[in-house]
Structure 1
Amino acid sequence: MDSKELVTIAAKACDEKRANDIVVLDMADVSLVADYFLICEGSNERQVQAIAREVKEQAEENGIEVKRMEGFDKARWILVDLNGVVCHIFHKDERHYYNLERLWGDAASISVEGIQG
């Protein structure tokens, strides 16, 4: 499975748990860390955990190993490493504070619909 298919699965998982403001950044020309960053937010800690759990479950159901999951207990910023796709699931307050979209401003932003199409 390529990274584009993987980020599509992750985006659908986020959407199923009603994540807000889902953004995909194409990191291929900007970073060696990942092909894509998926960034989204939840309105409270329980929703942030539910989104991360759904991403993990959907990945595993599709035979994808979750390399690492960080920050689950505090649920302010959960990072899910899917080897080529890194999902950043924020609590809404931390999303605006860290502002990864600005930090990685050289990366092209892709709409979720653009990934699926």
Structure 2
Amino acid sequence: MTPKEIALAAVRALDEKKGKEIAAIEIADLTALADYFVIASGTSNTQINALCDAVEKALKDLGEMPLRREGYRDGTWVLLDYGCVTVHVFSQEAREFYDLERLWRDGKQVDLTDILTAD
């Protein structure tokens, strides 16, 4: 799978579990960290963990396993590292505090209008 296909599969999984404010940013030209960041918010620790579980299951079904998982115990910012794609799931407060979209504003926002369901 291409990095973009992995990122979009993660977006779909987050959307199916009602993730909030889902975004994908292409950062391949800016850093060697990853090709894409996928960012979403959850409304509670339980939902944040459910969102991450949904991403892991969807990507596992496609043959992709995370290299690393961070933040499950705390539940305010969970990171799933797939090498070329990093998925960040935040509480609303943590998302506002870290503001990854601002930090990576030089990246290319991926148009998700055809993927996300209307609220």
- TM-score higher than 0.5 here? yes
Unaligned runs of 5+ in 1: none
- 2: CA distance, partners of 1:26 / 1:113: 16
Unaligned runs of 5+ in 2: none
- 1: CA distance, partners of 2:91 / 2:34: 22
Amino acid at match of 1:58: A
- Taking a change above 3 Å as real, the CA distance of residues 84 and 47 of structure 1, as seen in their structure-2 partners, is same
- Taking a change above 3 Å as real, the CA distance of residues 115 and 43 of structure 1, as seen in their structure-2 partners, is closer
TM superposition outliers: structure 1 runs of 4+ over 4 Å: none
How far residue 92 of structure 1 moved from its aligned partner, in angstroms, is 0.8
| Equivalence for 1:104 | 104
- 2: CA distance, partners of 1:64 / 1:2: 11
| Equivalence for 1:90 | 90
How far residue 113 of structure 1 moved from its aligned partner, in angstroms, is 3.2
Aligned length: 116
| Equivalence for 1:78 | 78
How does 1:22-33 map onto structure 2 within 5 Å? 22-33=22-33
| Equivalence for 1:56 | 56
Question: TM-score scaled by structure 1?
Answer: 0.94
Question: SS of the residue aligned with 1:48?
Answer: helix
Amino acid at match of 1:46: T
Q: State the Cα RMSD in Å.
A: 1.4
Identity %, equivalent residues: 34
Q: Is the Cα–Cα contact under 8 Å of residues 4 and 115 in structure 1 kept in the other structure?
A: no
